[in-house]
Chain A
Amino acid sequence: MVKPMLRTRSLKRKRIRTPGNRLVTHFKTEKPGAARCAVCKKPMHGVPRIKSSKMGRLPKSQRRPERPYGGNLCSECMRNLFRKSVREIFKKK
């Protein structure tokens, strides 16, 4: 029997054949995928890969970057958005 700690079904199990020709199960905690930008779909910096239950324990400044649209848009997409908004105002006048 494995340790009681490892018997939860919240852990991922992987069967691995060892060099001595034995079958062994390896246990791993699941990790969510990296957060992605809503426009360009690239993985973003500054957003940790933790379960949402543990994310609540972090201070707010460590959950996402501190700029507008932080955690939803990457820095370049956010910059393009503000540039467009300013240039549209300029065209009308």
Chain B
Amino acid sequence: MALEVGRVCMKTAGREAGKYCVILKKMDDNFVLITGPKVLTQVKRRRCNVEHLEPTSHMVKIDAEASDAAVIDAYEKTGLLVKLGLRKPSPEIVKEAEKPKKEVKKEEKPKEVKKEEKPPKKIEEKKPEVPKEKEKPKEEKKPLMIKIKIPSFRRKKEDKKEEKKKPEKKKPEKKEKKKPEKKKKK
């Protein structure tokens, strides 16, 4: 079997092995351009080594480097869809597959950057509430985050620091009272 334009082949290597494809163009002595198309047989439009193809007895009438839609029509005219057991995809799916996807990727990247800016604001609001009861080291970390942001937050934190210092002084006094009581009992 000669490897001509329009020859239906089976791929025999790689993850697309065992799937049918059509030859679109001869590039070298060793390489040809093929498609499934991807919508039909999951073999994408690509360069392929001749040794990785096994030609069948079927032919399809197409021009060199024909579009995917044209190849699917050619399959249908020769009745190969029934012989090879393939399902014809709807025309809407074929149109979507042919569109270039580069534009979609550019839109996604800016969205991610915006998301990163938002979450830090939420974290700052939560932190000031927790530290009122607990330790000093957490207080030191907060002011660094706050300086970058709105001035109104600074005033609230200064008030909180004053409140925290007072309860700390009271606690040590209570402990001292308890210890002497135990000694007296002994």
Q: Which residues of A contact B (CB under 8 A)?
A: 66-68, 75, 78-79, 82-83, 85-87, 89-90, 93
What is the distance, in angstroms, from A59's C-beta to the closest C-beta of chain B? 16
Q: Is the CB of B15 within 8 A of A78?
A: no
Q: Is the CB of B56 within 8 A of A89?
A: yes
List the B residue with the shortest CB-CB distance to A87: B54
Q: Is the CB of B12 within 8 A of A68?
A: no
Q: Is the CB of B54 within 8 A of A83?
A: yes
B13 proximity list for chain A (CB < 8 A): 67, 75, 79
| B145 proximal to A (CB < 8 A) | no
Partner of B54, one of A66, A75, A86: A86
What is the distance, in angstroms, from B63's C-beta to the closest C-beta of chain A? 25
Per the bound structure, the CA–CA distance linking A78 and B12 in Å amounts to 8
Per the bound structure, the CA–CA distance linking A68 and B42 in Å amounts to 13
| B180 proximal to A (CB < 8 A) | no
Q: Is the CB of A90 within 8 A of B17?
A: no
Q: Do A79 and B12 contact each other (CB < 8 Å), given the known contacts A86-B54, A89-B56, A89-B57?
A: yes
Per the bound structure, the CA–CA distance linking A89 and B84 in Å amounts to 11
* Interface CB pairs A-B, < 8 A, 10: A66-B15, A67-B13, A67-B17, A68-B18, A78-B17, A79-B12, A82-B10, A82-B11, A85-B10, A90-B1
| B14 proximal to A (CB < 8 A) | yes
Per the bound structure, the CA–CA distance linking A75 and B15 in Å amounts to 11
A79 proximity list for chain B (CB < 8 A): 12-13, 17
What is the distance, in angstroms, from A43's C-beta to the closest C-beta of chain B? 20
Q: Is the CB of B12 within 8 A of A93?
A: no
Shortest Cβ-Cβ A-B pairs, 7 listed: A79-B12, A82-B12, A90-B57, A86-B54, A66-B15, A86-B10, A68-B18
A86 proximity list for chain B (CB < 8 A): 10, 54-56
Q: Is the CB of B14 within 8 A of A67?
A: yes
Partner of B17, one of A82, A87, A89, A93: A82
B17 proximity list for chain A (CB < 8 A): 67-68, 78-79, 82
List the A residue with the shortest CB-CB distance to B55: A86
